[in-house]
Structure 1
Amino acid sequence: MSLFRASSDPVRLQEWARNIKRDDRVLDNTCVVCSRHFDECYIQRTFKHVINEENVEFERERPPLIDDAVPTVFSDAPAYLTKPVPKKRKVRKIASNYVPRPKRKALRASTPDLELDEGIGQASEPSRRPFRNVPPPSAFCTTIVLTNDPGALCFGCHIRLETGEVLVVKHVTFTERSEPATPEQAETSLCRIYCRNVKVDEFFVANESDALAALKKADALLLCPACDIEPLKSGQCTKFGAAYNAHTCCVATAEGKQCMRCKYTRKLITNQMRRQKQQSKPKIRQRAARKSVQLF
């Protein structure tokens, strides 16, 4: 049986006093606590040495406590007042579990099989594009190869502005199905039609005749002529080239006329311009009246 003096650290002493609850006495650094109130993991009963790569232990005459020791065992107290000692994690020996990675062998200078495989892979990339033999529907439509998606086939219609900027007004893309559910679906490709960077239609095509019909459909689409007026406020419209469209413009219309959304936006802008002119007229009249008063 050993007696241990209370900790001189004020923070540790408060933890001791919190566990040893006595109304008749206040715990201070002059008090001593019996060893039976400490768990065995808190008491250092032996000296530990490493001799000839072996752990050797010698018993201590006066076993001390470790630095973070706290009394937690009270057999006479109720169970809810006794806090169990937190379990410590096992120390893993990483050095014994370490396995070096296998070394890679350098390729020889002459690897004809590898070069042949690479040539086959490069030659097969263009053949992955579906409907690569479909001709463009008109002279204004050209075939485009996308750098970020070389497996997709894209047809685009371009226009050139007065500033020299070239824009893609319409473009159609054909891509293979990523996860076909049936073998029949694996032979179909997804067709997307875009006008002014807005997706107008999306459907599946099975053969080259369907793909050509999709290209002709996109070529026959008539675009909305936009608002045909510059808005007063920034962010009121979407700009494409030199044209201003409503944010929710239908893009493609049946007869090539303005859609209802662009008509409403145009009317809204003209009303704002009219109000702005009416607000500026009283100021001009006031200035003219002031000048006439000054003359008299």
Structure 2
Amino acid sequence: MNPSPINQTMVLYFIIKGISDVAELQLPIFLLVLLIYLVTLAGNVTIFLLVCLDHHLHTPMYFFLANLSIADMSSSTITLHKVLLTFILGNDAVSFHGCLSQVYLFASITGHELFILAVMSYDRYVAICNPLRYHSIMTSGACILLASSCCLLGFLLVIPPVVIVSGFTCYTSNRIDHFFCDLVSLVKLTCSDTSILELLNLTEGLIISTLLPFILTFVPYVFIISTIIKIPTSSGRQKAFYTCSSHLTVVTILYVILTCQYILPTTLSIADKKFFSLFNTAAVPMLNPLIYSLKNKDMKSALRRWMAKSRITFY
């Protein structure tokens, strides 16, 4: 479809420009995105199934890890499916309501993931700083309540900004210079009054949805590191740090990417923004299962047991 100048007050569809406009790069980009997406699905489905099927992994830490895997798979599917479908079907248009749905789902899943990572920090804090009370604090009921709250917060906090955007009736263009319907890119196209949305993004989006989970994620590590330092033996310190190293690696990568993507937008070109978005929506969900699998003895042992039951030799 060829985009036309937008002079009317209502947009029926948007054109997603994609990762690159260069025709020669479309096939390599498609193959790369497809490979990343398939690896992401394979890795996260494997972790989810191992946690569900292996009773050795029926612990709070792996319960939250299974929730993180669901969030990663959902985030990649929501954002990357349009890149794949555009190449296969040749249709780069998305309806107005379809675009809003993508904005809502992606923002909700991102918020859900940030809160899940914060809960995983709390789980590691209890395990290392209060090991004798761990099982009395992190009960199955408490874990379900925490996971449900993360999901509920993620999906509820995004409703107000999406409702406001749905009321925008004036757009300067219907071409979104991105590979999916991103809220920031969408708002840049509107000529409607965005003052209320900007205030909401500052209070709810930045403080509640981003800064709050950031604090809840990293403050426990202050106490965790303090406790680890006080452990008298080097083997004890190493073992304690090992239990949270995978999670710390994941959250550090994620928040660095989010900072580059949203906190420093004025210093980045459109190509840079797309790169960080692609890394956030494709590479991070792919890396998460690799990080947890390669750095986690329990996951590797569970994988060996599963492969042994499937009569596959594991080396």
TM-score range with shorter-chain normalisation? under 0.3
Q: TM-score normalised to the size of structure 1?
A: 0.22
Larger strand fraction of residues = 1
More helix by share: 2
- Structure whose CA Rg is larger: 1
Higher relative contact order (CA 8 A, sep 6+): 2
TM-score by length of 2: 0.21
